[in-house]
Structure 1
Amino acid sequence: MAKFASNEVLDAALAVVAGANRMLLLAGQPASYAAAQAGALAETAMAPADFTLAAGSGGGRQLNVAARGGLVAQAAGTADHVALVDEVGQRLLYVTTCPAQPLAAGNSVSVASWQVSIGAPL
């Protein structure tokens, strides 16, 4: 028997991620919201317009996250993770890897657009 999940179900999960109001660049994967906040090398505000839902390649759904430019590094380190957080609810919502970028405090950094994908049930 085939398996099925409606786009509404998949989109609901992605909508939680799209509730993020900050994007953080980090050296390493944070284990909690507090760790993400404490370890942020650079950060930027996020708004609902920075997220768009779409059909995923190969099935499922994806959340497109807009590129961000002009972030100013607040600390030195090598950014290799990106986190989306909800500051109001103090929740770490999503973490992914990114190409390693050495950052010096005060320097400008950009983040290319990226996606969060949820596949169709297997």
Structure 2
Amino acid sequence: MAKFASNDVLDGSLLVVRSATRMVAVSGQPGSFAAAVAGRLTEAAMTTADFALAAGDISGRKIGVAARSGLAVIAAGTADHVALIDDAGSRLLYVTTCPAQALAAGGTVSIAGWSVEVGAPA
């Protein structure tokens, strides 16, 4: 028997990701909203305009996250994860890895664009 999920179903979870109000780079995978905020090395405010829904690269759907450049480094450390957080709901929404980069306080850093993909049912 074949499986099917409407794009509306797949987009539903991606719209939660799009509710992020901040993107933070951290050292290590944060396990909570509080850990992501406390461990942030740099941050960028996010709006729904920073996200774009589209067809998935492999299957299903994806949401693209806009690149950010010239972000001020808040604290020194090695950024190896990027997290999307929702300040209003104190929610850690999504965490992914990024190429490890040593950051010096007072410097600047850029975060390349990336995406979250939800595959079609198999």
* TM bucket normalised to smaller: over 0.9
Where do residues 71-110 of structure 1 align in structure 2 (5 Å cutoff)? 71-110=71-110
What is aligned with 1:38? 38
Equivalenced residue count is 122
Structure 1 residue ranges without an equivalent (≥5): none
What is aligned with 1:65? 65
CA deviation string 1:73-106 (max 9, x = no partner): 1000000000000001000000000000100001
Please report how far the alpha carbon of residue 58 of structure 1 lies from its aligned counterpart in structure 2 after TM superposition. Answer: 2.1
Residues of 2 paired with 1:78 and 1:57: CA distance? Answer: 30
Question: Which amino acid in structure 2 is aligned with residue 117 of structure 1?
Answer: E
Residues of 2 paired with 1:58 and 1:29: CA distance? Answer: 26
Question: Which amino acid in structure 1 is aligned with residue 12 of structure 2?
Answer: A
Structure 2 residue ranges without an equivalent (≥5): none
1:10 to 2:10 alignment: yes
Runs of 4+ in 1 over 2 A off after TM superposition: none
Indicate the percent of aligned positions where both proteins have the same amino acid: 65
Structure 1-normalised TM-score?
0.99
Residues of 2 paired with 1:68 and 1:58: CA distance? Answer: 25
Structure 2-normalised TM-score?
0.99
Residues of 2 paired with 1:31 and 1:108: CA distance? Answer: 25
Aligned CA RMSD, in angstroms, stands at 0.5
Residues of 2 paired with 1:7 and 1:60: CA distance? Answer: 7
